[in-house]
Amino acid sequence: MIIVFKPEATEKQIQHVLEKVKTSGFPVDINRGAERTIIGIKGKIDQVARLRIQPFEAFPGVEKVVSISAPFKLVSRQYKPQDTVIDIEGIKIGGKKVVVMAGPCSVESREIMLEVAKKVKLAGARILRGGAFKPRTSPYSFQGLGEEGLQYLHEAKEKTGLPIVTELMDPRQIALVEKYADILQIGARNMQNFDLLKEVGRSKKPVLLKRGMGSTVEELLMSAEYIVSEGNPHVILCERGIRTFESATRFTLDINAIPVIKQLSHLPVVADPSHATGQRSLVASVAKAALAAGADGLIIEVHTNPEIAKSDGPQSLLPSMFSDLMEELKKVGHAIGREI
């Protein structure tokens, strides 16, 4: 950590900060420049992290505080250099093989759920997605089938063998959702719902953590740190598009974030081209791009009849389009030394 003083900082102000820093016990280094004084504080990441609780920016005479180390620890690649591989009933996420998760946006009926599950399994998906609890912008939109939806997902799993990923919105639902789900999904709108993060951090189930649409990569990693620091190391990160000024698409998939996260963290990363684009005709191109950029998996919305989809119909692929996309993904995966 580096504390930079204003050119006009007084000696008294500098000494005042120094005293506070010294009580922490870390080695301190003063650098008196022609114009400014700078203090460097040495120490291991997690120790200095504690020191950050001191709001040095609030001290008189201080211009800025520069963090040198990342603010996260357990999820950082510096802490654990080798890739984390998460095993879900034998399916490994984060290894050489890229995992495609597919299914309808929300679970709407037993029939559709079973049919979509069969179709995506046939095309090569290895995890089944579907929402039973739906975070909807409008209170008047379909809010999900709740436990009934979870039961349909469970039946689809029994019929196809595909493990289930499904969203959890309320900490009070955890016991229920854990009963059915193989992966607990935290949606973009709850990425900083810290009580919910702590709750899934105490679960034994892997967690798929989606990036908030107004959140930075660093904040995504801090939210993952919440989960891991509670005891659950099985976190899969998901890039699903951020808010920008561009209005041609619903969100802007941050493709840069995929290699950035792989550099900063050992956790697996998947991409969601369906939400990131909001348009069916763009999903295939963006899915291939995310794979080529290094994603460990993809999560794609598929519906047998998007016209009656209760949410996100416009971005859902038909099973035949999904099947074609899987063929293309296999080729791209092969080209970059991975399998699907």
Q: 9-38: which residues touch its own copies (CB under 8 A)?
A: 20, 27, 29, 31, 33-36, 38
Query: Cβ 159 to its own copies, closest distance in Å?
Result: 26
A 10 A CB-CB count for 58 gives 8
Name which of 42 and 159 has its Cβ closer to its own copies: 42
> Are the C-beta atoms of 212 and 189 separated by less than 8 Å?
yes
* Interacting positions 135-164 with its own copies (CB under 8 A): 135-143
Per the DSSP assignment, residues forming a β-bridge with 102 are 128, 300
> Are the C-beta atoms of 102 and 130 separated by less than 8 Å?
no
DSSP string, 182-200: SEEEE-GGGTT-HHHHHHH
Query: Cβ 202 to its own copies, closest distance in Å?
Result: 13
Q: Does 238 bind its own copies (CB under 8 A)?
A: no
Among 50, 159, 179, 202, binds its own copies (CB under 8 A): 50
> Are the C-beta atoms of 258 and 297 separated by less than 8 Å?
no
Q: How far is CA 198 from CA 30, 189, 195, in A?
A: 39, 16, 5
Phi, psi of 162 (to 5 degrees): -80, 125
What is the three-class DSSP state of 32?
A: strand
Q: Tell me the window of 90-98, 123-131, 156-164, 278-286 that interacts with its own copies (CB under 8 A).
A: 278-286
CA distance 232 to 211: 18
Phi, psi of 311 (to 5 degrees): -155, 145
Among 124, 154, 314, 324, binds its own copies (CB under 8 A): 314
Name which of 161 and 231 has its Cβ closer to its own copies: 231
Listed residue (269, 218, 213, 216) closest to 242, CA to CA: 213
Q: Does 335 bind its own copies (CB under 8 A)?
A: yes
Name which of 206 and 273 has its Cβ closer to its own copies: 273
CA distance 205 to 216: 25
Name which of 91 and 102 has its Cβ closer to its own copies: 102
Q: Does 124 bind its own copies (CB under 8 A)?
A: no
Among 18, 24, 63, 176, binds its own copies (CB under 8 A): 63
Name which of 84 and 223 has its Cβ closer to its own copies: 223
Among 117, 123, 127, 222, binds its own copies (CB under 8 A): 222
Q: Does 219 bind its own copies (CB under 8 A)?
A: yes
Phi, psi of 321 (to 5 degrees): -65, -40
Q: Does 95 bind its own copies (CB under 8 A)?
A: no
Q: Does 107 bind its own copies (CB under 8 A)?
A: no
A 10 A CB-CB count for 324 gives 14
Name which of 101 and 287 has its Cβ closer to its own copies: 287
Number of residues that bind its own copies (CB under 8 A): 113
Q: Does 96 bind its own copies (CB under 8 A)?
A: no
Name which of 11 and 246 has its Cβ closer to its own copies: 246
